[in-house]
Amino acid sequence: MTPKTIFQKIWDKHVVHQDANSPAIIYIDLHLVHEVTSPQAFTGLRQRGLKVRRPERTVATMDHSIPTVPLSELKVFDSLAMAQLDQMATNANEFGIRLYGMDSPNRGIVHVIGPELGFTQPGMTIVCGDSHTSTHGAFGALAFGIGTSEVEHVLATQCLLQYKPKTYEVLVNGTLPAGVSSKDIILALIARIGVGGGTGHVFEYRGEAIRNLSMEARMTICNMSIEGGARAGLIAPDDKTFEYLAGKPYAPQGAAWDKAVAEWRTLPTDDGATFDKSITIDANSLAPMITFGTNPGMGMKITDRVPDPDTLTDPLAKSALDKALRYMGLQPGEALLGKKVDVVFLGSCTNSRISDLRLAAGLMKGRTVAEGTRLLVVPGSQEVKKQAESEGLDEIFKSAGAEWREAGCSMCIAMNGDQLQPGQYAVSTSNRNFEGRQGKGGRTFLASPLTAAATAINGVVTDVRTLIG
């Protein structure tokens, strides 16, 4: 038999039908839904008189426009956002879909709760009207974001039309140095290949450094696959994956569990399987990364200096960098280390899980947030929040002067009132530094939770390695 990649194995198992010169019809095992990209899809169903084909394979939550201060303390809330949240509840109710709504103790960012509740499993096809669906690839699932028309297709048919993407091996060898985390691996990859580098491809992250990462750290990497242009990024499942999933509420139990694990063990890429493209990264040579520009590919080692547009020859690339630096208020050759930061945001589906909060809290313990800097800590789910509180992490953050919030997307997308003011600088653990992403006129430096915590302590962009000695 020809050796296959994990992607190929999952793809082959899900093709329902394939006509010549047409995309394949693939079956979707799990459809995650949130309030922002689904209302028009449900409207479409109503107009066509259709039902949701597999409500049991559909899971909804509220995360994007949800407030992160407790409702009881909320003075004003955007009526449009409220209407959207209400609409999600109405749609879930009318179409019989499980919803982790406003009052649910399991509510949270869709890409945090999927794995947390055990919905996300190896070998599955998973979609959501959200580009960071790639996160679930950390479990060896083929997971990618879709548009609202496709949300409607999947609701109605549990199927999707897809051309088969190409494969792209990302081999990460070696061991990560102290102070360097999985966020730095993915930022380094995107800085190398650019935000369009993976277009048309699915990444598979492999190698010793990936194997050594925890499940949560793997999710951070897969999460940002889309930032490198790839719709999906996978990591083959292993014992860590099974350990993480064992006992989760919606993971298989008992004999079904043993059967599932046996099947999951057949998923990893066969020896000798080939990829359409490949890149190798040496983990030993990595350092904490930070972005300086207005897309996630504009990143560098935190000790580097902002590049000079005049050194670029391609006129479009040059004007892009020039425009980015003007927006960011940065000079070519400037160092970011020591740059005053107004806000530090610790959150988002990239870095808001318990291990992220533990890392940051470990550094914050006994220290305080610098005067003139605001640290906003937003757990990825209510479950993460509860866990953090049971470990006393909330006390560490609060006594350091940070704001401790309810779960949600929050300042990652600035739809819920948590936002930067024009001109403000932020170090954020989220995934996008596009113009205005965290609030109109706001300027974002993307970095790891460790870099974020170190920066909050000093009030200026800080190399965490100087604090961990």
Binding site for other proteins (CB under 8 A): 16-17, 21-23, 25, 27, 36-37, 39-40, 43, 48, 64-65, 78, 80-81, 83-84, 87, 129-131, 145-150, 152-153, 156-161, 163, 165, 194-196, 199-200, 226, 229, 231, 295, 297, 316-317, 319-320, 323, 413-415, 422, 432, 434-437, 440
78, interface contact from other proteins, ligand SF4, none, CB < 5-8 Å by kind: other proteins
Q: How far is the CB of 135 from ligand SF4 (least distance, A)?
A: 8
How would you label 172-201 residue by residue, b for 16+ Cβ within 10 Å and e otherwise? bebebeebbbbbbbbbbbbbebbbebbeeb
Residues that bind ligand SF4 (CB under 6 A): 63-64, 109, 111, 130, 132, 348-349, 409, 412-413, 430-431
Q: Which is nearer to other proteins, 130 or 383 (CB)?
A: 130
152, interface contact from ligand SF4, other proteins, none, CB < 5-8 Å by kind: other proteins
How would you label 87-122 residue by residue, b for 16+ Cβ within 10 Å and e otherwise? ebeebbeebebbbbbeebebbbbbbbbbbbbbbbbb
For residue 460, count other CB atoms closer than 10 A to its CB.
17
Q: How far is the CB of 223 from ligand SF4 (least distance, A)?
A: 8
109, interface contact from other proteins, ligand SF4, none, CB < 5-8 Å by kind: ligand SF4
- The dihedral through the CA atoms of 459, 462, 468, 469 has a sign that is negative
Q: Which is nearer to other proteins, 3 or 423 (CB)?
A: 423
Q: Which is nearer to ligand SF4, 57 or 132 (CB)?
A: 132
Residue 279 three-state SS: strand
Q: Which is nearer to other proteins, 80 or 256 (CB)?
A: 80
In angstroms, the CA 413 to CA 458 distance is 25
In angstroms, the CA 81 to CA 210 distance is 39
Q: How far is the CB of 235 from ligand SF4 (least distance, A)?
A: 19
Q: How far is the CB of 94 from other proteins (least distance, A)?
A: 14
Q: How far is the CB of 158 from ligand SF4 (least distance, A)?
A: 23
281, interface contact from other proteins, ligand SF4, none, CB < 5-8 Å by kind: none
Q: How far is the CB of 444 from ligand SF4 (least distance, A)?
A: 12
403, interface contact from other proteins, ligand SF4, none, CB < 5-8 Å by kind: none
252, interface contact from other proteins, ligand SF4, none, CB < 5-8 Å by kind: none
323, interface contact from ligand SF4, other proteins, none, CB < 5-8 Å by kind: other proteins
Q: How far is the CB of 59 from other proteins (least distance, A)?
A: 17
Pairing relationship of beta strands 30-34 and 58-61 according to DSSP bridges: parallel
246, interface contact from ligand SF4, other proteins, none, CB < 5-8 Å by kind: none
Please name the residue that has the structure tokens 């028009």.
40
118, interface contact from ligand SF4, other proteins, none, CB < 5-8 Å by kind: none
| CA distance to 199, 224, 226, 308, per residue, from 196 (Å) | 5, 12, 9, 21
For residue 287, count other CB atoms closer than 10 A to its CB.
17
Q: Which is nearer to other proteins, 134 or 455 (CB)?
A: 134
Strand stretches in 159-295, DSSP E = 159-162, 166-173, 201-206, 232-234, 277-282, 289-291
Q: How far is the CB of 133 from ligand SF4 (least distance, A)?
A: 9
Angle at 270 between CA 145 and CA 277, to 5 degrees: 55
Assess contact for 195 and 227: CB atoms under 8 A.
yes
Pairing relationship of beta strands 30-34 and 24-27 according to DSSP bridges: unpaired
Q: How far is the CB of 349 from other proteins (least distance, A)?
A: 12
CA 140 from chain center: how many Å?
Answer: 15
In angstroms, the CA 134 to CA 167 distance is 14
Q: Which is nearer to other proteins, 173 or 199 (CB)?
A: 199
Q: Which is nearer to other proteins, 207 or 441 (CB)?
A: 441
List the 24-27 sheet strands across, edge first: 15-18, 24-27, 159-162
